[in-house]
Amino acid sequence: MKDINTILTDYIRRHHYSRLQPVAALIDMDGTLYDSMGNHAEAWRRMCEEAGLEVTRDEFFLYEGMTGAQTIDLLMQRCRGRHATPEECETLYHRKTEIFKSLPPVRPMPGARELTDLMVTVGMRRVLVTGSGQNSLLDRLPEDYPGVFLPGMRVTSRDVTHGKPHPEPYIRGMQLAGVSPSQSIAIENAPLGVKSAATAGAFTVGVVTGPIPRAELEGAGAAIVFDSMKECAEEFPTLLYNMLTLTI
């Protein structure tokens, strides 16, 4: 890995920012705060099997970040050669959610609590930015991440017209935090999520937490990539310190 100051300097120059200020953290949920992607992929696969849609389990790791409706539309176009109707989106997503809830409970991602507690300690504003609309996980956040997300500081699939990889979710996250792109750090595990955050102009931290290799996250626009949330939590203070002290 290049050293952090080189990464930051390149990033600032490329974006024509004067500097980077770590004022707000915009944090993805599935595969970042929760080890939930395996269950999501399995729920999608089983729902599609029931619906007669031919898919593979692993392809859902690549669609991560898209809203349920977008994913269903993509599958319908590929398997049936037409767009999904709003009714199909609702019924099939409902079924996928039912299956997800029936699977063994997901756990918070190791290292994520340390990272988010650190953000609280240094006084960064925190916003959840997720493509999910599933209450089974959203409702657990106050218990698993106490004090991290204040009321209203979340962007879910219900709050956006365009899901990731469109920049809208992260732009809305910045609006909620009252910050500009150069004051934002995004934490993401999926290529489409990285693309959404990077296009919105956030300094985007990619974290490898599943089968997607780091090159995919770099290719999608991650400014820096860590191999786990634990590593991200360990390196985060150095990243913040270098952001605050860097002079170009």
User: What does DSSP say about strands 125-129 and 24-27: parallel, antiparallel, or unpaired?
Assistant: parallel
Query: Considering only residues 8, 22, 30, 207, which one is a binding residue for Mg ion as defined by CB under 5 A?
Result: 30
| Least distance from Mg ion to the Cβ atom of residue 153, Å | 18
CA atoms within 13 A on the CB side of 168: 14
Query: Considering only residues 20, 28, 68, 108, which one is a binding residue for Mg ion as defined by CB under 5 A?
Result: 28
Segment 137-156, which members bind Mg ion (CB under 5 A)? none
Alpha helices in 103-205 (DSSP H): 112-121, 135-138, 141-144, 168-177, 191-199
Does 35 engage in binding with Mg ion (CB under 5 A)?
no
Mention every residue, 6+ apart, whose C-beta is less than 8 A from residue 232.
111, 115, 187, 205, 207, 226
Does 22 engage in binding with Mg ion (CB under 5 A)?
no
CB atoms within 10 A of CB 136: 14
Q: Which is nearer to Mg ion, 165 or 181 (CB)?
A: 165
Residue nearest Mg ion by beta-carbon distance: 31
| Least distance from Mg ion to the Cβ atom of residue 65, Å | 6
Does 163 engage in binding with Mg ion (CB under 5 A)?
no
Does 73 engage in binding with Mg ion (CB under 5 A)?
no
C-beta separation of 2 from 19 below 8 A: no
| Least distance from Mg ion to the Cβ atom of residue 195, Å | 12
Contacts to Mg ion by CB under 5 A: 28, 30-32, 189-190
